[in-house]
Chains A and B, each alone.
Chain A
Amino acid sequence: MYVAVKGGEKAIDNAHRLLAEERRGDPESPEVSLKQIDQQLSHSVDRVMTEGALYDRELAALAIKQARGDLVEAIFLLRAYRTTLSRFGASEPIDTAKLLIRRRISATYKDLPGGQVLGPTFDYTHRLLDFSLVDGTEPEAAAESDGDPDTPMPRVVDLLNQEGLIESEDADDDTPVGDVTREAMTLPADRDVRLQMLARGDEGFVLSLGYSTQRGYGRNHPFAGEIRLGEVEVDFTPPELGFPVTLGEITVTECQMVNQFAGSATEPPQFTRGYGISFGHCERKTMAMANVDRALRARDLGEDVSAPAQDEEFVLYHVDNVEASGFVQHLKLPHYVDFQSELDTVRRLRADAQARQAGVAAE
């Protein structure tokens, strides 16, 4: 006697209990705290906040813990939570020129007002496993800067702009900014929507696309004009007050690429720009994002659109890892009804073919 598979509900409940057990691991080892994740796995937290599109270090740490360190899963958890939050309004644009700088480097000038500030970076570490971390050692204190913290650090692109050497980008305050989390994206997309998609986009996908432009698939001659990391205040203007109040401070990383020049009959040659930004410290992501942003501007700048990174529809529809992960993994859901339908078709086609062959043989 055949009995159909039943008890999906029980199986699911049990699977969830097993998952919770495995997440906890050996109960003898101490449970990791959110503070530890926030403080000691801070780049994970930064990435989850950026791609999760929600600035909350504690929630991001919780998501990482719940996801057992699977960052794409943690991003999904944070996004799903974000959806349920009420909206009170939009903050004022942040002014990255006023960033309290912790790191600021430019590859286009040897020195510049405010100077080069190396800050916390892996860049010049030798990638040797540090066995002193096995048991943990207190790090040596870094020297305090003796510079004046009030020294202005103008953005490199603003310096170039003084000479008119780079295209200017003036905020157009009258045009509402798109929001892909509220309205379906329509194509062609404007740059605000593209930048939002890229900022939320998967770091790996953006990295590879950005890399591909450097290898000639949509080359646009990037120079890292400036990368800056620091804290900036977020202001909000409540309609009932009519003036901005400061909500708090966030950490951001910003990258401005200076790209190949363009000119026309009416416009003298100028450098162009690519832009990247993230919550927290996500330097690789912002640089790659700036490359891809510039590549996606090909159409606007009258360049050929031939490489994958320049293909707006391809990039924007595949950059989101919550979408991609869900759809790739949905293949493990049952598809046996469709498969049965295909079996039916293939059997008929084979029967037709065999009949034809038999007919040929009989002739």
Chain B
Amino acid sequence: MTEPAQQPLTGYNFAYLDEQTKRMIRRSILKAVAIPGHQIPFGSREMPLPYGWGTGGIQVTASIIGKDDTLKVIDQGADDTTNAVSIRKFFAATAGVATTERTTEATIVQTRHRIPETPLTENQIIVYQVPIPEPLRWLEPREVETRKMHALAEYGPMHVQLYEQIAKYGRIAASYDYPVVVNGRYLMRPSPIPKFDNPKMDNNPALQLFGAGREKRIYAVPPYTSVKSLDFEDYPFSVESWEHCCALCGSTDSYLDEIITDDRGGKMFVCSDTDYCTQRQENGHFGPLGSEAAE
């Protein structure tokens, strides 16, 4: 579960990035914190992992992590998905830091597509991997234009887009990467988390940092900061829900993965957050299939 700190890889700087690069990224992070939700351009470096595979999150983590940190890396909520494994190994090798799968033991959580179900605390920083940081990108592909729209807080077109979905489908059809307004000012992409996780961003005690490597942007949500999902009075924001509980731990309030079990329409639902699910089972909570394992 938890791997202790080890001697970092020789031949490379601690956590891979050189000190000058870290200083540049650190300055960008401080500005990002001071202007919640605003995207700060930064001199993103070419990392030894491909663009689109978490290079922004990796650079942010590399710039904040220290010898005493304990790192957790998740992808789709799970610690053992291949890319999460790969990124965790990268930091175990280059920084020699302790790693963990337990949310409660981590000081830094790097994530792709989920926020852990276990509430974060003041002593934690969550780092999101961001593919496309610009919330207005699908409305306006041009950077020059979207920059002006942010400058003027000209977010009407986004409301129009959501309203058009209501007109067409009878409800807002956005499901993940659901746009939010941070601190009442900046429209922000929460990264492709399901909207189920959006409410966790609001007034969170932990610092939330976002890194987009290929797009070369860093942004942040400080602790205890308002994060509001866009909606309308008559069409309030709502999240995904399931008719089932988790088949393993019986949870009824966590985000579930749908798993196809045969080719005759058989399926089951289990927690996407593997640590949360494991903790619940260790504490004696079982779903319809989990109890069998306990016997």
* Chain A contacts to B: CB under 8 angstroms: 1-2, 4-9, 11-12, 76, 79-80, 82-84, 86, 181-188, 313, 317, 322-323, 325-330, 333-338, 340-345, 348-349, 352, 356
A184 touching B50 by the CB < 8 A rule?
Answer: no
Contacts of B153 in A (CB 8 A): none
Contact across chains for A344 and B240 when beta carbons are under 8 A apart: yes
Contact B256 A333 (CB under 8 A): no
**Least CB separation from A333: chain B residue:** B83
Task: Let me know if B284 is at the binding interface, CB within 8 A.
Answer: no
Which residue of B is nearest A334, CB measured?
B76
6 examples of A-B residue contacts, CB within 8 angstroms? A9-B85, A84-B12, A333-B75, A337-B257, A337-B272, A344-B240
Query: Is the CB–CB distance between A313 and B143 below 8 Å?
Result: yes
In the complex, which residues of chain A have a beta carbon less than 8 angstroms from the beta carbon of B258?
Answer: 340, 343
Interface residue ranges of B187-207 to A (CB < 8 Å):
192-196
Q: What mask results when residues 21 to 48 of chain B are scored 1 for a CB within 8 Å of chain A, else 0?
A: 0000000000000000000011111111
Decide yes or no: A187 and B143 within 8 Å by CB, A341-B196, A349-B173 being known contacts. Answer: yes
| A327/B51 in contact, CB under 8 A | yes
Q: Mark B195-223, 1 if CB is under 8 A from A, else 0.
A: 11000000000000000001011000000
Is B126 located at the chain interface by the 8 A CB criterion? no
Interface residue B163 (Cβ < 8 Å from any Cβ of A): no
Task: Please report B residues at the A interface, Cβ cutoff 8 Å.
Answer: 12-13, 16, 18, 41-48, 50-53, 55, 75-78, 80-86, 89, 112-114, 131, 141-144, 169-171, 173-177, 192-196, 214, 216-217, 240-241, 247-248, 255-259, 261, 268, 270, 272, 274, 289, 292-293
Q: In the assembled complex, how far is the CB of residue B32 from the closest CB belonging to chain A, in whole angstroms?
A: 13
Across the interface, name the chain B residue whose C-beta is closest to A85: B18
Rounded to whole Å, the gap between the CB of A193 and the closest CB of chain B is: 13
Contact for A79 among B43, B46, B174, CB less than 8 A:
B46
Contact B43 A82 (CB under 8 A): no
What is the bound-complex CA distance between A184 and B39, given in angstroms?
12
Which residues on B sit within 8 Å (CB–CB) of A1?
289, 292-293
Give the chain A neighbours of B86 by CB distance below 8 A.
12
Q: How far is the CA of A313 from the CA of B134 in the complex (A)?
A: 15
Q: In the complex the two chains form, is B192's CB within 8 Å of A8's CB?
A: no
Complex CA gap A327/B215 in Å reads 10
Chain B residues whose C-beta falls within 8 Å of the C-beta of A5 in the assembled complex: 80
Asked if residues B270 and A322 are in contact (CB atoms below 8 Å), the reply is no
A199 to chain B, nearest CB (A): 15
Q: Which residues of A sit under 8 angstroms from B176, Cβ to Cβ?
A: 337-338, 341-342
| Chain A residues with CB below 8 A from B50, complex form | 76, 322, 325-326, 329-330
Which 8 residue pairs spanning A and B have beta carbons closest together? Answer: A326-B51, A330-B52, A326-B50, A184-B41, A327-B52, A341-B194, A341-B175, A184-B216
**Assembly CA distance A338 to B176 (angstroms):** 6
Task: Report the bound CA distance from A338 to B289 in whole Å.
Answer: 25
Q: Are B51 and A2 in contact (CB-based, < 8 A)?
A: no
**Residues in chain B near residue A80, CB distance under 8 A:** 46-48
Residues of chain B with a CB closer than 8 A to A183's CB: 41, 43
Contact B144 A313 (CB under 8 A): yes
Q: Which residues of A contact B114 (CB under 8 A)?
A: 337
Residues of A within 8 A of B268 (CB): 2
In the assembled complex, the Cα of A313 lies from the Cα of B146 at a distance in Å of: 12
Give, as a whole number of angstroms, the nearest-CB distance from B39 to chain A.
10
Assembly CA distance A344 to B261 (angstroms): 18
The residue of chain A having its C-beta at the shortest distance from the C-beta of B12 within the complex is A84
A12 CA to B93 CA in the complex, in Å? 15
Taking the closest CB of chain A, its distance from the CB of B144, in whole angstroms, is 5
Q: Are A352 and B170 in contact (CB under 8 A)?
A: yes
A8 touches B84 (CB 8 A): yes
Give complex CA distance A326, B56 in Å: 13
The docked-state distance in angstroms from the alpha carbon of A4 to that of B101 is 15
Complex contact B175–A342 (CB within 8 A): yes
How long is the Cα–Cα vector from A7 to B217 in the complex, in angstroms? 33
Q: Which residues of A contact B171 (CB under 8 A)?
A: 348-349, 352
Given contacts A86-B18, A344-B241, 18 further A-B contacts (CB under 8 A): A6-B80, A11-B82, A12-B85, A12-B89, A76-B50, A84-B13, A183-B43, A326-B51, A327-B51, A329-B50, A337-B76, A337-B257, A338-B194, A340-B258, A340-B272, A341-B175, A341-B196, A344-B175
